A and B are shown apart, each in its own frame.
Chain A
Amino acid sequence: MKRVLTATALLMATTGLATAEGVLQLYNWGNYTSPEMLAKFEAETGIKVTVTDYDSNDTALAKIEAGGSGFDLVVPSANYVLIFMDKGLTVPLDLARLPNHVNIAPEWRDVAWDPGRANSIPWQWGTVGVAVDTAIYSGDINTSAIWLEVPDELKGKLNVVPEMTDIVTLATLYYGGEPCSEDLEVLKKVRDGLLAAKPDWIAMDYGATEKMSNKDWAASVNWNGSSMRIRTALPTVAYGYPKEGYTLWMDSVMLLKDAQNVDEAYAFMDFILKPENAGLISNFARYANGVAGSEAFMDPEMATAPEVVIPEEFKANGVFMPVCSEKSREYMTAIWTELLK
């Protein structure tokens, strides 16, 4: 009995382990946070940041909604920012504590999903397209036909990243619809098209950065920054901008309502709003960011990379994911669930 009691006491003590001084719990996309930036942050402020990974907006939402997650900051995509806000999972930012808030680039300051940036600050932004190993397939890669009507060379070798809103939107654009469509005819084509193409895909998984570099996959619907990193490892890989329409996304940092380390969270957010630190973030994952003046601190190859700087001829085809209506989100979820099975 005595042993049990002492053990229980020790257990209670370890309860405090998670909430020690000077720590920050960042819940972010996998392979998306620059270790260099974190080290610099710790050196300057003494705050130790622990990053926990998630693969998709839905996972993050589910985990945080389940409650008691213990995170302070989360980095959802634009269309999920509103969902987090609606569900009361995050709190508005106290702009007085973020002097560097003014550094936010003008084009990213008054976005439809967070006017004036009162609830979120920019992390990185990019596009979703197709990364293809041109050694295996040498045809036109600037089309969604690559993954919706898979060419023979890529059958059984192409991955589709399981990110619901991007995939369903890309497919909707391919079949002639508008994003957030509620047109049942178009949606039916989307559903049927996706289901028909699925057998030709090798996987619906994350990790393209590694798996394409390792040649496990020959192609993948993928984010641009990740594709640039693949190209660095495997030069034959090129990034395609689907001409039927490709999506633009932005991930932003939000403060969670039940955050335990609020002071540290503000310190972190202010830190990454400085151009030199935003530059560090971009250099790691190879995406552009929303802080003015950070270009000066980004690696020179990013200034000319086709993955980061959208080529003129494709600029018009990019579509920023708007905030969809309840009904259209329901449709998307239903199609997606069917596809995932």
Chain B
Amino acid sequence: MSPAEEHQIKASARAGWLLSAPALVLLAVAAAGPLLIVVVYSFLTPGQHGNVVWDFSTAGWVGILWSRDIFTEEWVLADAHLTIFWRSVSLSLMTTAFAFLVGFPTAWFIATRPPQQRAMWLFLITIPFWTNLLIRTYAINEVLRKEGLMNTVLIGLGITDTPIEVLYTQTAIFIGMTYVYLPLMVLPLFAAIDRFDMKLLEAAYDLYASRWRVLRRVILPIVKPGIVAGSILVFVPSLGAYVTPRVLGGGKQMMIGNFIELQFLQGKNWPLGAALSMVLLIIVMVALLVYVRFANKGSSHG
């Protein structure tokens, strides 16, 4: 490499850094940087009425799984905490699975429309995607209410006599989250199916494969990166969901996000809230790493 080329490469790199600098600074101040503060706070002592006292303490982290019984003063496993974690993880997994079950046919459908129509279908699926989360949660709230659309239809069709009370239960949160995050599953799936070579299907059918086998052995493995992307895109926000459980759960069905908020309000335990936030972040990072590994493995097979 000639010195002139080297110089050009260095100049190019410098320009790259300079141009990226403003974005990096803004993000460091108002996005990534504050996360460090959360880590620090998770190792402090809770103040009398909220906020923190600057004394080192691991109470925040211990408090994730253990709590002190008020009366016997001994450390016990915090069942209630475990319930909340379990609820969050299981609801998120169910949401992801169900989103995939209905999202995959939807994505397939859009991808197999004639090209002129496809843009319109894409547009139709994008609108719910970008609609305000709050509006969508409220819309589902209205449908699930005792006097809402769902019950009106069910009673009208004669399926039940009395309204089914779904609101304020875990089912309501499940329905709500699926409704809200479904478009996040469809779009990456669509992107992957779009790249899928339909000729492979022809070849498979020529070899007398049944539709089910074709689905299982040809389609799914190839669109796997899309499946993984969609799953991550649904699982991660579901796990950290805050608005949906708050509106549909009635304060009793807390998920991790609500539980974190509680520590900063009535729970008066900021270090615990900070520690919980870190746990949530770690789970998400692990999920993302899994995705990256899968995505790379997929592409190496070609």
Stretch at the interface among B1-9, B183-191, B224-232, B265-273: B265-273
B22 in contact (CB, < 8 A): yes
Stretch at the interface among A30-38, A69-77, A316-324, A331-339: A331-339
**Min C-beta distance of A218 to chain B, whole Å:** 10
| Contact A58 B70, beta carbon cutoff 8 Å | no
B167 in contact (CB, < 8 A): yes
**Min C-beta distance of B75 to chain A, whole Å:** 14
| Contact B146 A216, beta carbon cutoff 8 Å | yes
Question: B55-91: which have CB < 8 Å to A?
Answer: 67, 70-71, 78, 80-81, 83-84
| Contact A203 B250, beta carbon cutoff 8 Å | yes
Assembled-state Cα–Cα distance A154/B265 (Å):
30
Contact of B262 among A156, A335, A340 (CB under 8 A): A340
Closest residue of A by beta carbon distance from B254: A341
**Min C-beta distance of A137 to chain B, whole Å:** 16
| Contact A203 B265, beta carbon cutoff 8 Å | no
| Contact B268 A333, beta carbon cutoff 8 Å | yes
Question: A194-220: which have CB < 8 Å to B?
Answer: 198, 201-205, 214-216
CB-CB under 8 A from A275, the residues of chain B are none
| Contact A162 B266, beta carbon cutoff 8 Å | yes
Using C-beta atoms within 8 Å of the partner chain, give the interface range for chain A.
35 or more
Assembled-state Cα–Cα distance A191/B267 (Å):
16
Contact of B165 among A87, A156, A205 (CB under 8 A): A156
Assembled-state Cα–Cα distance A223/B143 (Å):
29
**Min C-beta distance of B38 to chain A, whole Å:** 14
B41 in contact (CB, < 8 A): no
CB-CB under 8 A from B168, the residues of chain A are 202-203
The 8 A CB mask of A47-84 against B (1 = contact, 0 = none) is 00000000010110110011000000000000000010
Given contacts A58-B265, A164-B266, is CB(A66)–CB(B70) below 8 Å?
no
Point out which of B80, B252, B264, B268 has the most chain A C-beta atoms below 10 A from its C-beta. Answer: B252
| Contact A341 B81, beta carbon cutoff 8 Å | yes
**Can you list 6 A-B pairs, Cβ within 8 angstroms, ordered by A?**
A58-B266, A65-B51, A87-B49, A214-B145, A215-B147, A338-B80
